[in-house]
Structure 1
Amino acid sequence: MIKQTAALVDREAVGLGFLAYAFVKLTVPSRDNMEAFDRLIGIWPEVVTCERITGAVDYLIKVVASDIKCYDDFLRLKLLDNALVSDVQSRIVVSTIKETVALPLKEFVS
């Protein structure tokens, strides 16, 4: 049941105070393109969460960076520079209200 153990590091304390979510649309959302994009996400350390989603876009990624310039570099030089990606819509986080990795197990386990 336990997938892994990890230390939770305060990202701001280590200089990663910028947080954004990016909605990513692939040029062609084929199986091959999705698998190729999945591999890219795996090597980009700025991406801390990636979800394949339904709707008008294909992925939702959570990106950490030291500042807006570093996020812009990530956006231009990695995401938008890739032929797999046709569009990216960013949402910059201004305040985090709740952040947890704890699962509500008591609610679902009897």
Structure 2
Amino acid sequence: MADKLLTAMKDEAALLADLQEGTPAHQQLMGHLEWMTGKYVSERALQTQLKIEHGPVIGSLILGSLAGTGGVWATVAGGWSLLWLLLLSPVFLVCVYGFFYEVTGGESRQRLLRQLQPPE
């Protein structure tokens, strides 16, 4: 996200240099560029301070692959073993959610977002 903001800020700064100073468009673009700068600083701080816990990521991969393998087994075996899908499907879905939650920073990201959010 910070990289996209930086690219957009560079484009807007180039446009700002082309506009005549003192015009309403120049003032409006300057205000937007200042807002984007604040957003970029907070997003970049979030990226540099983010800590990814590798234990839950590996755990969700292992448990998710076991649940997926068990689901495939239950589907192939058929019959009463299909009841295992009632247990294995939610486990697999929770593992997928947990994997992506932890890869994006998990609780560390939530805590940093609360700290970087300006007080109301």
For normalisation by structure 2, the TM-score amounts to: 0.22
Higher strand proportion: 1
TM-score between the two structures when normalised by the length of structure 1: 0.23
RCO greater where, 1 or 2, for CA within 8 Å and sep 6 or more? 1
